[in-house]
A and B are shown apart, each in its own frame.
Chain A
Amino acid sequence: MRAKAFIAAALAASLLSISAPARAGEDYGIGRPATSEEIAGWNIDVAPDGAGLPPGQGSVAQGAQIFADKCAACHGDHGQGKPMDALAGGAGTIATPKPVKTVGSYWPYATTLYDFIHRAMPFNAPQSLSPDEVYAVSAYVLFLNHLVPADAILDAKTLPKVAMPNRDAFVSAFTPAPGKAP
């Protein structure tokens, strides 16, 4: 008798829990915590303040060699473009009727160059360059735009400090709603 009552009660309880509706904002218990190793492998973004830049360094001279080997075929020997985007030139043209947009003339942050080359270039083998190689080839592209000297060596400290001429022209068209975010 007792056992029967117990089973009935357990059954009722389990039925209750089965039918309890999940509420909005509730923890559904779906997914699992991401490990720091998993996050580290994919956490490749670089912010304008340099957050996310890895240890390592590269010089303009090293970058010239990498560029000749891995970039020039698509972007031109001196980054002048053809067949793909020009990476150098166009200085002072942005506010004219015929703007020539390049890394040097248009881009507001040097950190974007590191982020983009590492994630997406060379086009045929993205994410294949080591941090040293990305620093070096970034330095070379900036050198082609006369934004760093021929003997420049870039790393996580110096890259975010490279002054980009068109930086102050950028204005955000997005106005966040006032008050606390949702």
Chain B
Amino acid sequence: MVRRYTNKSASRREILTGAASLAGAALAASTAEAETPTSNLPPGVPEWQQQPGAEVMSPPYGQPSPFEAGVIRRERTGGSPYPTRQAAVSLTPLQDLHGIITPNGLHYERHHGGVPAIDPAQHRLIIHGLVDRPMIFTMADILRFPATSRLHFLECSGNTQNWGKPDAALTVQDTHGLLSCCEWTGVPLKTVLDAVGVRDEARWMLAEGADSAAMTRSIPIEKAFDDALLAYAQNGERLRPEQGYPLRLLLPGYEGNTSVKWLRRLKLGEAPWQTREETSKYSWIMPDGSVRQFNFVMEAKSVITSPSGGQKLAEPGFHEISGVAWSGHGKVTRVEVSTDGGGAWSDAALQEPVLPKCLTRFRLPWRWPGGPALLSSRATDETGAVQPSREALLKQRDARSYYHYNAIQNWQVAADGAVTNAG
């Protein structure tokens, strides 16, 4: 039996109850996923086809399907290592993402004093120090400058803690989820710095946030005049509060912490300020006991997101191996994939667009013959830098350096198809 509604014949009441029951059906189905009513499958006519669906603007700001409710940011499997939830992180679900763009609600978070609730009408940016004209800007001012949009990844300096024995339970969200990629829109910082007139003696710029941590980092003047952005929009809409609304610094390719959120002040000076975030944190101990600070650029790196930790290959046969590669030094030029733990390597296809300091999606067709496999990926960037093996990285520095772990990630596929973290 086929029932048909048209907009003309259906009363408003019928449409409303139809929409309500559809939403109800979706929720019920998501709680009991396995028991799909067979009448919704061919040759039956699915229930969602037998009446009109939800109205426009339900809701006005669109949300993912309720069936995608599991695609969310998470704290680390096994518990957050941080004692507070305001100075903490949340991780992007890389295993569930497609292409190179991170939806705004899934961008990873790293805050040191929580997310401030800033009224943009009362937000100001002051630029002062070694400048000819110390200036103050409203958000309306910032939005008047000529703007530009660019796609860039952001990676937290502490992403991927694979220094020690690998924890088999970790997913790619746990190991690599402090990584996201968006289209950022804003004013090239150079435009605004030229307007205030930076003096010749200026070599460093202090960037300060309007959060309760008043986050501060010293930035080399070269970077400020190169590709730094005063960003106010992300993937087409204004920044999310947790990404620095209404204004953030965006330093492409640099460790995430330097892209100071909720930006309220830029000060030009001759030397770095040696803030807590560039001394106590974001510095690392080398094997000889020396401490390296100002380790700005995130190095060439890649990770297979499918198949990855926690997933299971249903059956032998065709599976596409896919993942993301990136480098803070520029474009990714090559990604190689191995299915036998680094014995043989094949070139993966790099999906366009391949952009500098941006995630690049790579894909390789694979026939899983069944039986154990060890999946790995290795990125090369346009400077010729090749992502190192864990052993090679450990020859340079060890767990005491904590930050900037960029070694090759390995996923173990068991004979039954279960995929686990192999470090």
Contact = CB atoms under 8 A, between A and B. Distances in A.
Interface of A: 22, 24-28, 30-35, 38-39, 42-48, 83-84, 94-95, 97, 99, 101, 103, 106-109, 111-112, 115-116, 119-120, 123, 126-127, 166, 169-174, 176-177, 180-182
Nearest to B199: A181
A112 B145 CA distance: 35
13 contacts: A22-B146, A31-B136, A38-B126, A42-B126, A45-B275, A46-B273, A84-B84, A108-B274, A120-B113, A173-B293, A174-B294, A181-B202, A182-B225
Of B134, B212, B274, the most chain A CB neighbours within 10 A belong to B274
A181 B200 contact: yes
Given A38-B136, A182-B222, A172 B276 contact: no
Nearest to A36: B134
A33 to B, nearest CB: 6
Interface in B190-230: 191, 194-195, 200, 202-203, 206, 208, 212-214, 216, 220-222, 225-226
A47 B289 contact: no
Given A44-B214, A109-B274, A39 B128 contact: yes
Interface stretch (B264-272, B374-382, B387-395, B415-423): B264-272
A127 B214 contact: yes
Given A84-B83, A173-B292, A181-B203, A27 B213 contact: no
B113 A123 contact: yes
Contacts, number: 159
A127 B84 CA distance: 19
B112 interface: yes
B134 A34 contact: yes
B195 A182 contact: no
B217 to A, nearest CB: 11
Given A42-B265, A97-B400, A106-B291, 13 more contacts: A30-B137, A30-B195, A47-B271, A48-B273, A95-B285, A107-B279, A115-B216, A120-B113, A170-B290, A173-B292, A173-B294, A173-B296, A176-B222
Nearest to B197: A27
Most chain B C-beta atoms within 10 Å of own C-beta, residue among A25, A30, A169, A172 = A30
Contacts of B291: 94, 106, 108, 166, 169-171
A3 B296 CA distance: 64
B293 A171 contact: yes
Given A44-B214, A101-B280, A108-B279, A28 B144 contact: yes
B294 A45 contact: no
Given A123-B84, A173-B295, A31 B137 contact: yes
A119 B213 contact: yes
A33 B83 contact: no
